[in-house]
Amino acid sequence: MRKLRPAPLCRSWLFLEGANETVLQHAAASGADVLIHELEDFTPPSLRPKARALAAELYAAWRDQGAVVAVRVNPLDQDGMDDLAAVMRGRPDIVALPKVAEPHHVVRLDEAVTRFERDYGIAEGSTSLLPNIEFARGLVQTGAIAVTSRRTIGCLMASEDLAADLGAERGSDGLELAYARQRFIVECRAAGVVAVDCPYTWSDATGVARDTVWARRLGYTAKSLVDPAHAAIVNGVLTPSEDELRQAGRIVAAFEAARAQGLGRVELDGSLLEVPTYSNAKRLIARGEALRAIDREVRA
């Protein structure tokens, strides 16, 4: 059986036009960890029947190429139920729901997914959920939204809809969403789910690299994207480099040597190493090893 990349090791989450067959067929070549069949904003209502009809064959192809398969349906009081009735036949790994502003939105999605799992002979509980936070009301309830369903493996923060709801002016530096991104990761971390950062919606490679570096500094390990060309950049930034792993190894060695001598901390390269620094270095090493192992298994 194909090895499924665990959600905490999914770095790049790529949204794809739901009815664009050319884009969908070449999506896995981007290298994105998660491919999201987007049936909401990227798919006009007139094209949704076509998009739904592509699901089963498309998802099987994506799985064969090592990607985690996700779909974003429409809000359930709009076209979402029709979306689910069709795409659940393709057994997506993750179902994302847009415009989640209240915990009960997730409750209803969980109930619908459970029903379709039973109807289609899918192992109950095997489909994960990814609420999308796109309004101020949702942002301040992210923690409650994240723990509403055991199926929820992460939450994803939007950029354009959230900025519009705030009345903020968009800029490629992302300054207008700085507080929202900081709060969002705190809420997700406290709830124990993956925080998927908002996409960088400009085309320049330098900009997406800069934006992802800033997200990583805040603590993000996952980022959504809307351009397949950005996947390699995001994966590169969110994967510990050899130099970073080497430095983390030096920190671990220096701290453990100090502890062996009965010292509480030690200086290395002008920095005082204490328990949090040591713990972070160990986590970085563990993440780097896990990413390399899963990358090998997915490619095999």
Q: What is the mean pLDDT of residues 132-144?
A: 98
Query: Is the pLDDT assigned to residue 297 strictly greater than 90?
Result: no
* Domains of the chain, CATH where assigned: 7-238 (3.20.20.60), 242-299 (no CATH)
Query: Is the pLDDT assigned to residue 15 strictly greater than 60?
Result: yes
84 backbone dihedrals φ, ψ, rounded to 5°: -60, -40
Scanning the structure block, which residue is given the tokens 């930034």? 237
Q: Is 274 annotated as a binding residue?
A: no
Question: Whole-angstrom Cα distance, residue 98 to residue 74?
Answer: 7
Give the chain's mean pLDDT: 95
Listed residue (107, 48, 114, 49) closest to 76, CA to CA: 107
14 backbone dihedrals φ, ψ, rounded to 5°: -100, 120
pLDDT bucket at 298, cuts 50 / 70 / 90: confident
Q: Is 134 annotated as a binding residue?
A: yes
- Compute how many other C-beta atoms are within 10 angstroms of the C-beta atom of residue 151: 18
pLDDT at residue 300 in the model? 63
Query: Is the pLDDT assigned to residue 129 strictly greater than 90?
Result: yes
- DSSP-derived letter for residue 37 is E
Question: Whole-angstrom Cα distance, residue 233 to residue 213?
Answer: 10
Query: Is the pLDDT assigned to residue 1 strictly greater than 90?
Result: no
Question: Whole-angstrom Cα distance, residue 105 to residue 133?
Answer: 11
Per the model's pLDDT, the better-predicted residue between 295 and 49 turns out to be 49
68-94: b (≥16 Cβ within 10 Å) or e: bbbbbbbbbeebbbbbbbbbbbbbbbb
pLDDT bucket at 214, cuts 50 / 70 / 90: very high
Listed residue (61, 58, 115) closest to 84, CA to CA: 115
- 275, with CB counted inside 10 A (0-12, 13-18, 19+), is exposed
Question: Whole-angstrom Cα distance, residue 221 to residue 238?
Answer: 6
pLDDT at residue 264 in the model? 79
Question: Whole-angstrom Cα distance, residue 198 to residue 174?
Answer: 10
For residue 197, CA distances in Å to 55, 69, 164, 185, 188 come to 26, 18, 17, 8, 11
Scanning the structure block, which residue is given the tokens 């029903």? 115
Query: Biggest alpha carbon distance in the chain?
Result: 71
Q: What is the mean pLDDT of residues 254-272?
A: 88
Residue 100 Rama label (left phi>0; alpha psi -120 to 50; beta)? beta
Handedness of CA 268, 274, 277, 283 (dihedral sign): positive
By DSSP bridging, strand 271-273 and strand 266-268 are antiparallel
For residue 138, CA distances in Å to 7, 133, 255 come to 22, 6, 42
Please give, one letter per residue, the 3-state secondary structure of 213-280.
HHHHHHCCCEEEECCHHHHHHHHHHCCCCHHHHHHHHHHHHHHHHHHHCCCCCEEECCEEECHHHHHH
Q: Is 21 annotated as a binding residue?
A: no
By DSSP bridging, strand 128-133 and strand 94-97 are parallel
pLDDT bucket at 45, cuts 50 / 70 / 90: very high
Reported as a single tens digit per residue, the pLDDT across 53-96 is 999 999 999 999 999 999 999 999 999 999 999 999 999 999 99
pLDDT at residue 249 in the model? 95
pTM of the model: 0.94
